[in-house]
Amino acid sequence: MKIRSSLIFVSLILLVSCSKVNIENENNDMMSRLREKKESTEKLRVEKEGMIDLEEAIDLALKNNTQIKLKEIESQIAKIDKNISFGNFLPRISAMYSISELDRYMSATIPAPDVTVGVLGGITLPSLPVTLTSRMVDKDFRNYALSAQLPIFVPATWFLYSAREKGENISLYTENLTKKMIKLKVISEYYYTLALTSEKNVLEKEYAYAKKLNKNAKLALKTGSILKWQEEETELLVKQKENALKNNERDLKIAKMNLMNEIGLDPYAEFRLVIPEDTVYKLPPLEDVVYDALVNSEVIKINHNLVAISKDKIKIAMSRFLPQISLDAGVVGTSVSYLNPQNILFGAITGFLSLFNGFKDVNEYKKAKLQSEAAYIQREDAIMNTIISAVNSYNNVQKSIEDKELADLNYNVAKKKFRQKELEVEVGSATDTDLLKAMSELEKAESIKLKTEYKYSVSVETLKMLIEK
């Protein structure tokens, strides 16, 4: 009865532990975490006086980005997996203890031979009982055992540990690659936001220019200097600039939210981005770029380890055809009173060899060979893709340098043209409309100049990510 009551109690505990998830509590926890993020973001915004530069954004991303945290956890799991596989080399010690309670003694009835003892002093003695009864098991008894097993020759454990060790290396390379990608993404989002901000400034000035042009057109229409369709054309220009400005505002809002999310802050936070200083990157020769990309690429290093793991899988499959030998030792005992001795020490050397299991081992070996071949092919693809990516990134840097030079020339021409229009307006040979148009061209040239500089910076960071450790 005691055992039955204990089983019922344990079943009730398991039933309660399998209760449904409280969605309302989960939602409250989620909202609480969002409030905490908003408060911490606001505290940072006050400390930074509402401004953040590129280096600070990268540091925050490396510290707070969820993808990096996930990769760090995966690296820890890979290390634990390696430690688990190392445990296969150590002895396994197990203990067993049980308590049994019966409602009565168990006895055995054994038939006795029908033999007459004989005559003693003229008296005939009775024969032995027909059956003999003996107690076999006590009403209450306990069993216990302590055993240890040590593998002596189990080749699969060696190769499994080797594979787990390479898996740990892969997790570290993956973590480093993730950090590089997050850094590059933050840089890209940062410069994209700056480019949209620059575009917004130009669009605002063009919108103001269009409204002023429309105002002048309305006055000219009243005096009969222009036709109606010419005035309507200026109204269309105003609406186009207004629509472009609204689209820019939407894109800028999403870009800022993406940037804040990448660096682990509240997506609705408003920070002013600091324009980074211009840096000149000395472009190395293309041959050095390709070589460094092949040597330092985390993707290729991951594939090297995958090929090595595939070889370990082949060895594991081959080891299934070999015997497995282990050493066993321990002690077993019981409290049953009729047994003597009640404790027994034992030791044994155990060998196991699979002779036939439906060709499972053979097919496992064939599968491992094919997986190894696939790993080699994937590594070759990774090498070729790295070479192409390096050349492509190198070309992008060269192109961005050329675009930057053209944008600088265009900006200088627009600036000189604007100064010329200022002088012409002073002497009366040009109108205010001509000056506004030249101003608009100057602002647009400046925006293009900034965008090409941002593009240059992003292309340089992309190349550096490929060739640097």
Query: What pLDDT digit, counting tens, does each position of 138-193 carry?
Result: 777 788 899 998 888 888 889 999 999 999 999 999 999 999 999 999 999 999 99
Residue 115 lies in a domain: no
Strand (E) or helix (H) holding 218: helix 155-222
For residue 200, the 8-state DSSP code is H
Residue 33 lies in a domain: no
Supply the Cα-derived Rg of the chain in whole angstroms: 42
Query: What pLDDT digit, counting tens, does each position of 268-291 carry?
Result: 988 999 988 877 888 999 999 999
**Per-residue pLDDT at 365 exceeds 80:** yes
Query: What pLDDT digit, counting tens, does each position of 183-237 carry?
Result: 999 999 999 999 999 889 888 988 888 888 888 888 888 888 888 888 888 899 8
Percentage of residues in the chain having pLDDT higher than 90: 43
* Pairing relationship of beta strands 131-137 and 106-111 according to DSSP bridges: antiparallel
pLDDT of the residue at 106: 66
Residue 424 lies in a domain: yes
Query: What pLDDT digit, counting tens, does each position of 448-460 carry?
Result: 998 899 999 999 9
pLDDT of the residue at 11: 59
Tokens of 427: 């002497």
Q: Which of 80-89, 91-100, 330-339 has the lowest mean pLDDT?
A: 330-339
pLDDT of the residue at 132: 56
CATH of the domain at 193: 1.20.1600.10
Q: Report the C-alpha gap between 331 and 346 in whole angstroms.
A: 6
Residue range 3-32: mean pLDDT, rounded: 64
Residue 235 lies in a domain: yes
Q: Report the C-alpha gap between 198 and 446 in whole angstroms.
A: 9
Which residue from 297, 301, 300 is spatially nearest to 393, judged by alpha carbons?
Answer: 297
**Per-residue pLDDT at 352 exceeds 90:** no
Query: What pLDDT digit, counting tens, does each position of 110-127 carry?
Result: 665 555 555 445 555 555
Confidence bin at 128 (pLDDT 50/70/90)? low
Residue 304 lies in a domain: yes
Tally of structural domains, the chain = 1
Confidence bin at 24 (pLDDT 50/70/90)? confident
**Per-residue pLDDT at 242 exceeds 50:** yes
Which residue from 175, 196, 4 is spatially nearest to 79, judged by alpha carbons?
Answer: 175
Query: What pLDDT digit, counting tens, does each position of 70-90 carry?
Result: 999 999 999 999 999 988 888
- Residue 191 CA: distances (Å) to CA of 56, 437, 448, 450: 14, 28, 13, 10
Percentage of residues in the chain having pLDDT higher than 70: 87
**Type of residue numbered 111:** P
Cβ neighbours of 157 (radius 10 Å): 18
Residue 147 lies in a domain: yes
Residue 341 lies in a domain: yes
Domain containing residue 306: 51-85+92-102+130-467
Residue range 39-45: mean pLDDT, rounded: 87
**Type of residue numbered 385:** N
pLDDT of the residue at 434: 80
Which residue from 300, 54, 306 is spatially nearest to 177, judged by alpha carbons?
Answer: 300
Contacts for 222 with CB less than 8 Å, ≥ 6 apart = none
Contacts for 256 with CB less than 8 Å, ≥ 6 apart = 193, 270, 271
Residue 416 lies in a domain: yes
Q: Report the C-alpha gap between 258 and 65 in whole angstroms.
A: 12
Q: Determine the straight-line distance between the first and last CA of the chain, rounded to whole angstroms.
A: 69
| Dihedral angle computed from the Cα positions of residues 392, 397, 403 and 406, in that order, rounded to the nearest 10 degrees | -140
pLDDT of the residue at 1: 47
Residue range 382-410: mean pLDDT, rounded: 95
